Structure 1
Amino acid sequence: MSAETLATPDTAPVGHYAYDQVDRAFLHDRVEQFRDQVARRLSGALSEDEFKPLRLMNGLYLQLHAYMLRVAIPYGILDSRQMRELAHIARTYDRDYGHFTTRQNIQFNWIRLEDTPDILARLAAVDMHAIQTSGNCIRNVTCDQFAGAAVDELLDPRVHAEILRQWSTLHPEFSFLPRKFKIAISGSPHDRVAARFHDIGLVAKPGRHGTVFDVFVGGGMGRTPIVGVHLRDNLPEEDLLAYLEAMVRVYNEYGRRDNIYKARIKILVQALGAEAYREKVDAEFAAMDRARYRLPPETVAAIRARFGTPVLDAPSDAADRLAEARRADAAFDRWVRTNTHPHRAAGYISAVISLKPDGGIPGDATSAQLDTIADLAERFSFGEIRISHMQNVVLGHVRQDQLHALWRELGGAGLASANIGLIGDIIACPGLDYCSLANARSIPIAQKLSARFANPALQERIGDLQIKISGCINACGHHHAGHIGILGVDKKGEEFFQLTLGGSAGNDAAIGQILGPALPEDATVDAIAHLVDAYLVHRTEGERFLDTYRRLGAALFKDAVYALA
């Protein structure tokens, strides 16, 4: 797709790109096409082998107990109308909840095949779909949950994520890639999207003539965890489409197709070597008709204008009123410290709604909670909702003088956990409770850890400590990038858990290192407690868990876990 053919929608709801009639006609046709395919599968005219690639193109997986539908939330942005539709689907077609994922999507785990076309039709009616959530394609492009609001932002990555969505949807050359392909964009030099663990990661930074991108390639987790290679400095905005097209063309041509475990771009980059891969990309880039792919400022500005922009008009005393409310309410003050992020506009703040209650399932929300979030978004944040890759929800534009009222409402809905960035803010995949690929259950161990460290004062004392749990080596829970990572493994039919320490998904990206032999579930929970105790004893002033581990090394922590075993 050339820059000139990028679509422009009718009207723009606050926060995200509005679809036009071309988009809506395409979704309608796609739903009716799939309705016919489902009917043929149910009648037996299509075998499962014939049906599988068709359902995956529409986000439908066959898991342990039922079909799972993964709904796309492009760059993590929803409006209240769309959130209410997700609540309706949860109530009507699932078991009253949805699960938000690390790709800023939502999954419904108990879907009947015969209901799927009707669900997709309902989604299409609110400009939603399940395209690019599965299969060997360019998946849902992710970006910063504070996009368009963060004080440290250089550009709004939603604009470029939307450009990449349009470029990659039904791209004829990339419809059947060797494997799935994931892209993340950070609009700030501070990487909040795990860019270095993506097939392509883009991180904005200041350039001589405006904002440019650092380009990372070949990152990933799974069986072969790799921190991405820094492929290019200072990529100009106008060359974004052309350069990414060159990168994916090289992968499509040289990526292995004989072994699904070796078919990712990270394997290709490692096999060729970073310099050889860079040379091939540069040659492809030089040979392209660059004018066809160029993103001139006026095109980017036109796309940007199609995003609804809130009118930010907080009263001049909003910050003072927030400060007064914090002084009067210690619990509220704690929540503000952990669950908010600075806003670029005076008198505003971004509020993070934790989907990690004490003893709860990370990323799950009931239909009532989804409806509540929609209501609160309309009252407090212009109807706009963001989903983070940390499996939480963000209201991006909250007036500081209204934050206390929002917090009280969240408390009544069981959504006021003050744990963002702390030990209770656990990432976990669905694991063996649902997934046919998993070796162990992620959910019970996440619940036990959450309950073990439920005390808010203890969580604050521990500070920044990220626990990430995967039920198998595919690493959907991002355990490789956890300060403490937990991987479920199978030992002769029993569930065990392997610990890794020292991972990070930020600017200091690193892969966690295995601590020692895998442990049973309850022993794993005790082991985490021992690790935390060792950290609290040996840390210096201001050190995070990750800092202490890097300073002292693994031996101290290994002794804390295994010395008494």
Structure 2
Amino acid sequence: MYRYTEFDRAFLRQRAAQFRDQLERWSDGRLGEDAFRPLRLQNGWYVQRHAPMLRVAVPYGEVSSAQLRVLARIAREYDDPPAEVYASAMAAQGQLGTTRLPTHCAHFTTRTNVQFNWIPLSKAADVMDLLATVDMHGIQTSGNCIRNISCDERAGVTPDEIADPRPFAEIMRQWTTLHPEFAFLPRKFKIAITGAHDDRAATAWHDVGLELVRDAAGELGFRVRVGGGMGRTPMIGTVIRAFLPWHQIMNYIEAIVRVYNQYGRRDNKYKARIKMLVKAEGQRYIDEVEEEFRQIVERDGGPHTIPLSELERVRACFEPPAALAQRTASRDAAEPSRATATATASTATTPRYARWLERNVAAHKAPSLRIVTLSFKRLHQAPGDASAEQIERVADLVDRFSAGEARVTHAQNIVLPWVHEDDLAALWEAASQAGLASANVDLLTNMIACPGGDFCALANARSLPIADAIMERYQDLDELEDIGEVDLHISGCINSCGHHHSGHIGILGVDKDGAEWYQITLGGSDGTLASGVAQAGKVIGPSFSASEVPDAIEAMLRVYRETRQPLDSTGAEKFVDTVRRVGLEPFKTAANAARAQQRSLA
């Protein structure tokens, strides 16, 4: 993974010191609230429903064991609300307040950032200093700027990859950080890059989505999409360049963002995202970008053209970690003990282990290695949440089995990208003891959810109790396997932080006369091969109360199991494919019938 230079580290230390000074001036009244707000947002500090929230950047999802341990320390020592604040938050839970709100934990987001929900602003500067010791920060995780750039969590290690997108993501990260022209865009701006055939980065749903491709001559370049996004008006990005030579990518992004900065709406935040500009202007927008790109290259000399030497310098940072080679050598030289061999042999015959191998372990481009997902999804734990103890246990597993490197995933889990095949049994045993071996990747309980109304001031409804109610109902792994692959995504409001639009089943919290209700959508996709082309789900009808949602989900899954077509020895038709084949009506009828039955019994 990329290692910060001394310049990078000096920059972070200076930025942390600058924020400490801003915080002190705000605390003693020398800096007004209106002046301080954009400064704290530029460093990742929000003010949420009950307390401040810090968003920490994890560029393209890569995180080291040392960074994980600092995140665990922050969770343990700083994510600790005062008793009166916590009591008030619990009292505000109302009808859905069935579980205690999590504290002393981190929340992994769909954009591979990490959030903390209870850190007081009085301790914010200390936290930023601590993050800087391991090359972490919250810069540009908020505000109307180019945000954290995301990638496929299997970048650089997956067999289906055309090229590793991480070096390009890192070069862009350095270029976009505090870019003076793009620090105050009409609205926030998100970029995702994939280098694989399977789009696990959901690039079509981003303001700019980049896909590494090769042309007929075998030259490397990008297919460029612009104007994707969720929120109030979900849209799939438009391909504006089928092939752009790789070395021109930053010049081209400059043209994309410059045209947006000039013509994007600033009078209405609901129409300010670039997707609205692309929709309104169509070909005219594309023509403006092409003309701006021509001028950047011809008039200005292409100042952001990437030299091959720079790409090679950054690529060298993404070679397999040295610790991997050292571990391979030590494993080859050491003879396994009889106890270890016996334990491994015993594990190999365990059905739970076999299920985990099938669900959580993926092929690696190196034949002797595997990619392993550690799932945080379990009963009475909010999707994406990890306690301080769990994060420390993950760090230990990362050191022991993955050469000190891990990845945060789009689905709010952790991936170990450098696991030896011979270590899988030992990893499974250790992960099981830590409660991190749920064999549910791609299944219903591997759901995505935002923190919702329990924490977020923008949310209309709570996400976490809905997630827990569904999780509780589907604890039988045999039943989950029979249902098969289902992406369930939950958002507490139309801002779509839980990506409900792209779920095979999407749940959206809505406000109805001051009460919490939930819309259900079907047939969405993030664009992976398993789900087909990216598209937004469709609403099945009137909203449901919180208590009605689990019954509605169960009723729709029953329709699927009764309606799906058998395929072959590999399994039956997938849920999303059945929805697309038979249409929404059978599922809508079943969900409404479940609601009517529950109300008749009430």
> Corresponding residue for 1:384?
405
**For residue 538 of structure 1, what is the amino acid of its counterpart?**
T
Q: What aligned pairs does 1:386-425 form with structure 2 within 5 A after superposition? A: 386-425=407-446
CA offset at residue 290 of structure 1? 4.4
User: Is 1:73 matched up with 2:98?
Assistant: no
Cα distance in 1, alignment partners of residues 388 and 348 from structure 2: 34
User: Is 1:32 matched up with 2:21?
Assistant: no
Cα distance in 2, alignment partners of residues 361 and 371 from structure 1: 18
CA RMSD, aligned part only?
A: 1.9
**For residue 546 of structure 1, what is the amino acid of its counterpart?**
V
> Corresponding residue for 1:255?
264
> Corresponding residue for 1:528?
553
> Corresponding residue for 1:116?
124
> Corresponding residue for 2:524?
503
**For residue 502 of structure 2, what is the amino acid of its counterpart?**
A
Cα distance in 1, alignment partners of residues 288 and 342 from structure 2: 57
User: Is 1:304 matched up with 2:315?
Assistant: yes
Using the TM superposition, name which of 123-132 and 41-50 deviates more. Answer: 41-50
Greater than 4 Å deviation, 4+ residue runs? 311-318, 320-327
> Corresponding residue for 1:84?
69
**For residue 467 of structure 1, what is the amino acid of its counterpart?**
L
Does the 8 A contact of 1:341 with 1:350 survive in 2?
A: yes
User: Paired residue for 1:550, among 580, 585, 591?
Assistant: 580
User: Is 1:458 matched up with 2:488?
Assistant: no
Does the 8 A contact of 1:102 with 1:390 survive in 2?
A: yes
Cα distance in 1, alignment partners of residues 454 and 508 from structure 2: 15
Any unmatched runs of 5+ in structure 2?
Answer: 80-102, 567-571, 597-602
Counterpart secondary structure, 1:111: coil
**Inter-CA distance 385–451: structure 2 relative to 1 (3 Å threshold):** same
1:210-266 CA distance string (max 9 Å, x none): 332211110000001111111111221111111111111111111011111111000
CA offset at residue 31 of structure 1? 0.9
Cα distance in 2, alignment partners of residues 506 and 323 from structure 1: 37
Cα distance in 1, alignment partners of residues 576 and 162 from structure 2: 28
User: Paired residue for 2:245, among 236, 258, 261?
Assistant: 236
**For residue 143 of structure 2, what is the amino acid of its counterpart?**
G
Tell me the number of residue pairs that the alignment of Structure 1 and Structure 2 aligns. Answer: 548
1:154-193 CA distance string (max 9 Å, x none): 1111111101101100111101111100000011121101
- Percent identity of paired positions between Structure 1 and Structure 2: 50
Cα distance in 1, alignment partners of residues 301 and 509 from structure 2: 47
1:189-209 CA distance string (max 9 Å, x none): 211011000000011223223
**For residue 223 of structure 2, what is the amino acid of its counterpart?**
D
User: Is 1:215 matched up with 2:224?
Assistant: yes
> Corresponding residue for 1:49?
34
Counterpart secondary structure, 1:563: helix
Cα distance in 1, alignment partners of residues 565 and 380 from structure 2: 30
Cα distance in 1, alignment partners of residues 310 and 48 from structure 2: 42
Does the 8 A contact of 2:251 with 2:302 survive in 1?
A: no
Does the 8 A contact of 2:344 with 2:426 survive in 1?
A: no
Q: What aligned pairs does 1:307-318 form with structure 2 within 5 A after superposition? A: 307-310=318-321, 311=324, 313=328
Does the 8 A contact of 2:57 with 2:148 survive in 1?
A: yes
What's the TM-score, normalizing by structure 1? Answer: 0.94
CA offset at residue 309 of structure 1? 2.0
Does the 8 A contact of 1:358 with 1:424 survive in 2?
A: no
Does the 8 A contact of 1:322 with 1:401 survive in 2?
A: no
1:517-539 CA distance string (max 9 Å, x none): 00001111100000111001100
**For residue 591 of structure 2, what is the amino acid of its counterpart?**
V
Cα distance in 2, alignment partners of residues 476 and 321 from structure 1: 46
Does the 8 A contact of 2:491 with 2:498 survive in 1?
A: yes
User: Paired residue for 1:268, among 253, 274, 277?
Assistant: 277
Cα distance in 2, alignment partners of residues 242 and 338 from structure 1: 41
CA offset at residue 32 of structure 1? 1.0
**Inter-CA distance 323–295: structure 2 relative to 1 (3 Å threshold):** farther
1:314-366 CA distance string (max 9 Å, x none): 98999x99997775111001011111111000111000011111342100001
Does the 8 A contact of 2:348 with 2:425 survive in 1?
A: no
Counterpart secondary structure, 1:418: coil
Cα distance in 2, alignment partners of residues 554 and 323 from structure 1: 47
Does the 8 A contact of 1:100 with 1:391 survive in 2?
A: yes
User: Paired residue for 2:184, among 176, 179, 190?
Assistant: 176
Q: What aligned pairs does 1:466-545 form with structure 2 within 5 A after superposition? A: 466-507=487-528, 508-541=533-566, 542-545=572-575
> Corresponding residue for 1:7?
none
Any unmatched runs of 5+ in structure 1?
Answer: 1-15
Cα distance in 2, alignment partners of residues 432 and 154 from structure 1: 41
**For residue 238 of structure 1, what is the amino acid of its counterpart?**
H
Counterpart secondary structure, 1:372: helix
> Corresponding residue for 2:371?
350
Cα distance in 2, alignment partners of residues 212 and 529 from structure 1: 45
User: Is 1:145 matched up with 2:153?
Assistant: yes
Cα distance in 2, alignment partners of residues 327 and 306 from structure 1: 36
Cα distance in 2, alignment partners of residues 545 and 323 from structure 1: 36
Using the TM superposition, name which of 211-220 and 419-428 deviates more. Answer: 211-220
CA offset at residue 456 of structure 1? 0.9
Counterpart secondary structure, 1:396: strand
Q: What aligned pairs does 1:87-106 form with structure 2 within 5 A after superposition? A: 87-94=72-79, 95-106=103-114
User: Paired residue for 2:467, among 427, 446, 453?
Assistant: 446
**For residue 219 of structure 1, what is the amino acid of its counterpart?**
G
> Corresponding residue for 2:99?
none
User: Paired residue for 1:287, among 286, 295, 320?
Assistant: 295
Counterpart secondary structure, 2:189: coil
> Corresponding residue for 1:4?
none
**Inter-CA distance 326–545: structure 2 relative to 1 (3 Å threshold):** farther
User: Is 1:160 matched up with 2:190?
Assistant: no
CA offset at residue 498 of structure 1? 0.3
User: Paired residue for 2:255, among 246, 256, 261?
Assistant: 246
